[in-house]
């Protein structure tokens, strides 16, 4: 008798054509880069051994060689993403009976009701509660680091609205389970009169819920602002299970839990990683879900099937023993037509993570991932936790109830009496003397806790999966003005630099851990991204100052070596353009990505590196730099029209505005020198580079010279940039005159 073959829960396909094209390009581009570096190094060696050249020229060539070596090394690390791209398909309909599915805990974090409006956060909470998953096996936790009464009030109102919203979604198969998103779009399907009536009634109820939350301050539910600010910095823990039934079993409603951890000014709270670790402990006590979905407060569930899709990988016996997490892409609903600020992170979620998945899996990306709880307990796959009670307390703390949850045979039995123990787990002293944040849970060594934690997991032997189905599973909102974009990127840069210089720096740590070389390169690339500022700042200033002084740094047009520099530019640009078009982008999007890369490298990356340096010497404390989720109509209009918005710009813009001014002066001076001296062939590359940077900087130049609206570059930034430009020009003339 033949056994019936069980259909697979998922399939994997290697993108062989893309892999072949990518490998061929890597080989050709590597040869071109080697030739360019040989040219630069040989001339530098000549200058060092020849006494007929000034030290300034030697230093200039050394700076260029350093920047080109840096960029080549970063490119080499990035090339590993393109070595073996794969794609996956999941079949959630093939999962077994719902009663056999594991418990899932959903973690959502918010920190400031002014920058993260409670109504937006509650829409994310409601979308998570509406996941297509057994209600009794779904727990939703919200961490409120802001300690705001409005957030707790909004949660209670959201739970009341969920009692009618969830049944409506289940009855009519609603896939856009975020109420605000659902009622903002047309249904687009032929529906019955019953549905249309129900939809209108539901919309009215949502509007009433919305009005209650928005008017909560007028109704007196927020309290004194000064008290709220004090509670944010110095407040006791508060844990409340929302709903009249408390911890009793809910037949049709997932559990909803509000968590405010204790925060004291004298204790480090470790930002988002600290909040997630409190949720990890509290949820371990109340629900102990085997898997955890982490969502940013502005990233709502756009497809209720994501939980079962993730389980297709987690419950596969061939993958499960070593699978730590399933990562879904970050997709944003408010991106401009051609993504002027590069917020979609197209290269990461449409190129890199596919290549990572073909090796050992993608890097943890902060939100939209289903994590195995066991993987966060500091052990390698197949290893057991320490059995000695004293050692376990050194790892996990003194709570006996929490230690009980670590037993494989533990059966969660939520009782109201556990809430008191949960408050202990949320206290600011609980982690003292333990391995929380060091080996257990989300790690504290960097403000980008996702990258640090994911890197450690991979180096311990865990794998991950990247799944990008046709319908976006999660949708978030991105910054829509340049200052917020740069502040966010600066925070990422400083966090990545912390990882690069930590004891767990991915390249040496991965190699010493016996990790595969290609995947170690993938893990190392994010930590190397801050060093783009070395190349960006050098190429935005040094060739231009030399151009003004008539010093050639590149081969003549008639020199055969000129073809090498031209080939590097064409090869890199064509590869980038091909990938943008292949992933559904446009030529304009390609140009926008080139431009914003330059802006971020010169400004945000530089300030991120400066931020780490000042913290290292104790001048400045760590600042998470939360970006605002509050939307203003004027900003939306400018962003939709793809106009650079400099409103509220800070000092972070000074380097890029200075660079724009310097390149304008260099182009005018360079053209005058070429006309006067007739040395176009020698200075052609520098003129072209300067012109290219000016084109990239056109929105900045326009905002300084032409625009007079609120989104122009602030006068203070313009004034400081003029001073910096004059200083650079003066130094250039003095140095090259020596």
Task: Show Cβ contacts of residue 145 under 8 Å, excluding neighbours closer than 6 positions.
Answer: 109, 110, 111, 112, 232, 260, 261, 263, 269, 275
> Tokens at residue 669, please?
């001076």
In whole angstroms, what is the distance from residue 425 CA to residue 218 CA? Answer: 34
SS (H, E, C) 53-85: CCHHHHHHHHHHHHHHHHHHHHHHHHHHHHCCC
Q: Out of 450, 484, 611, 645, pick the active-site residue.
A: 450
- For residue 248, count other CB atoms closer than 10 A to its CB: 12
Q: Contact at 8 Å (CB) between 125 and 108?
A: yes
> Is 637 one of the annotated active-site residues of the chain?
no
H-only helix segments in 11-138: 16-49, 55-79, 118-129
Q: Look at the chain and count its residues.
A: 738
Query: 238-242 and 255-260: which strand pairing?
Result: antiparallel
> Tokens at residue 286, please?
């109340």
Q: What are phi and psi of 97, to 5 degrees?
A: -55, 145
H-only helix segments in 386-481: 389-396, 400-404, 418-425, 449-460
Taking the chain, what is the end-to-end CA distance rounded to the nearest angstrom?
92
Q: Out of 105, 112, 144, 145, pick the active-site residue.
A: 145
Q: DSSP states of 373-403 as a string? A: GGGGGS--TT-----SHHHHHHHH-S-HHHH
> Tokens at residue 426, please?
């949320």
Q: What are phi and psi of 332, to 5 degrees?
A: -115, 135
Q: What secondary structure letter does DSSP report for 174?
A: -
Task: Show Cβ contacts of residue 190 under 8 Å, excluding neighbours closer than 6 positions.
Answer: none
In whole angstroms, what is the distance from residue 701 CA to residue 693 CA? Answer: 11
In whole angstroms, what is the distance from residue 541 CA to residue 534 CA? Answer: 11
- For residue 415, count other CB atoms closer than 10 A to its CB: 10
In whole angstroms, what is the distance from residue 364 CA to residue 545 CA? Answer: 42
For residue 544, the SS3 value is: helix
Query: 238-242 and 323-327: which strand pairing?
Result: unpaired
- Nearest of 682, 721, 702 to residue 729 by alpha carbon: 721
H-only helix segments in 137-224: 149-172, 179-183, 193-214
Using CA atoms, how far residue 169 sits from 176, 177, 415, 691, in Å, is 9, 7, 30, 55
Half-sphere exposure of 134 (CA within 13 A, CB side): 15
Q: Contact at 8 Å (CB) between 536 and 689?
A: no
In whole angstroms, what is the distance from residue 669 CA to residue 677 CA? Answer: 12
> Is 145 one of the annotated active-site residues of the chain?
yes
Using CA atoms, how far residue 660 sits from 67, 397, 486, 605, 701, in Å, is 20, 54, 17, 17, 7
Task: Show Cβ contacts of residue 5 under 8 Å, excluding neighbours closer than 6 positions.
Answer: none
Q: Contact at 8 Å (CB) between 421 and 400?
A: no
Residue 730: Cβ-neighbour burial (10 angstroms; 0-12, 13-18, 19+)? exposed
Task: Give the CA-trace dihedral at 403, 293, 608, 516, to 10 degrees.
Answer: 80
Known catalytic residues are 145, 450
């Amino acid at each position: 008798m033949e056994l019936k073959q069980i259909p697979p829960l998922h399939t994997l396909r290697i993108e062989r054509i893309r892999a072949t094209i990518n490998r061929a390009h890597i080989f050709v581009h590597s040869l071109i880069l080697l030739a360019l570096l040989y040219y630069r190094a040989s001339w530098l060696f000549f200058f060092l051994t020849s006494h007929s050249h000034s030290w300034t020229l030697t230093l200039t060539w050394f700076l260029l060689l350093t920047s080109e070596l840096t960029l080549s090394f970063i490119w080499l690390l990035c090339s590993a993403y393109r070595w073996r791209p794969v794609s996956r398909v999941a079949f959630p309909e093939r999962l077994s009976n719902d009663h056999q599915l594991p418990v899932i805990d959903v973690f959502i974090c918010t920190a400031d009701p002014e920058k993260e409006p409670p109504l937006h956060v509650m829409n994310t909470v409601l979308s998570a509660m509406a996941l297509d998953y057994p209600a009794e096996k779904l727990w939703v936790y919200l961490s409120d680091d802001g300690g705001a009464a409005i957030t707790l009030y909004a949660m209670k109102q959201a739970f009341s609205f969920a009692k009618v919203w969830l049944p409506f979604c289940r009855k009519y198969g609603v896939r856009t389970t975020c109420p605000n998103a659902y009622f903002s779009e047309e249904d687009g399907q032929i529906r019955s009169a019953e549905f249309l009536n129900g939809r209108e009634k539901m919309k009215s109820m949502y509007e009433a819920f919305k009005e209650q939350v928005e008017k909560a301050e007028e109704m007196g539910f927020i309290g004194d602002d000064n008290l709220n600010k004090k509670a944010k910095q110095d407040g006791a823990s508060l844990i409340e299970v929302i709903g009249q039934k408390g911890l009793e079993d809910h037949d049709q409603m997932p559990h909803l839990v509000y968590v405010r951890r204790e925060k004291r000014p004298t204790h480090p709270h470790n930002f988002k990683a600290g909040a997630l670790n409190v949720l990890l402990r509290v949820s371990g006590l109340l629900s102990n879900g085997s898997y955890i979905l982490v969502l940013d407060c502005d990233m709502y569930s756009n497809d209720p099937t994501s939980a079962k899709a993730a389980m297709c990988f987690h419950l596969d016996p061939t993958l499960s023993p070593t699978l730590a997490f399933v990562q879904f892409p970050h997709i944003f609903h408010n991106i401009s037509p051609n993504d002027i600020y590069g917020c979609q992170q197209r290269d990461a979620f449409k190129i890199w993570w596919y290549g990572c998945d073909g090796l050992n899996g993608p890097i943890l990306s902060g939100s939209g991932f289903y994590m195995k709880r066991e993987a966060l307990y500091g052990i390698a796959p197949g290893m057991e936790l320490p059995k000695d009670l004293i050692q376990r307390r050194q790892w996990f703390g003194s709570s006996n109830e929490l230690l009980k949850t670590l037993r494989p045979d533990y059966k969660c039995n939520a009782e109201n009496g556990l809430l008191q123990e949960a408050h202990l787990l949320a206290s600011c002293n609980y982690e003292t003397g333990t391995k929380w944040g060091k080996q257990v849970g989300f790690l504290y060594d960097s403000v980008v806790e996702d990258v640090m934690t994911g890197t450690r997991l991979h180096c311990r032997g865990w794998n991950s999966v990247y799944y990008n189905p046709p319908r976006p599973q999660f949708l978030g909102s991105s910054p829509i003005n340049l200052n917020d974009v740069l502040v966010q990127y600066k925070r990422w840069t400083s966090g990545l630099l912390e990882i690069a210089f930590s004891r767990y720096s991915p390249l040496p740590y991965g190699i010493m851990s016996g990790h595969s070389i290609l995947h170690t390169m993938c893990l190392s690339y994010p930590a190397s991204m801050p060093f783009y500022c070395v190349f960006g700042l050098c190429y935005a200033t040094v060739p231009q100052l030399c151009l003004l002084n008539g010093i050639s740094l590149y081969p003549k047009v008639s020199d055969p070596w000129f073809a090498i520099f031209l080939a590097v530019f064409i090869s890199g640009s064509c590869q980038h353009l091909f990938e943008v078009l292949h992933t559904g982008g446009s030529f304009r999007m390609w140009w926008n990505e080139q431009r914003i890369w330059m802006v971020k490298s010169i400004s945000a990356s530089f300030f991120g590196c400066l931020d780490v340096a000042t913290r290292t010497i104790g001048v400045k404390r760590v600042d998470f730099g939360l970006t605002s989720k509050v939307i203003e109509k004027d900003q939306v209009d400018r962003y939709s029209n793809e106009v650079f918005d400099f409103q509220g710009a800070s000092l972070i813009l000074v380097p890029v505005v200075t660079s724009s001014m310097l390149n304008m002066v260099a182009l005018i001076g360079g053209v005058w020198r070429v006309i006067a001296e007739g040395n176009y062939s020698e200075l052609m590359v520098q003129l072209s580079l300067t012109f290219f940077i000016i084109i990239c900087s056109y929105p900045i130049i326009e905002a300084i010279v032409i625009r007079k609206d609120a989104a122009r570059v602030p006068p203070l930034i313009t004034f400081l940039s003029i001073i910096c430009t004059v200083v650079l020009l003066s130094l250039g003339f003095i140095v090259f005159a020596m």
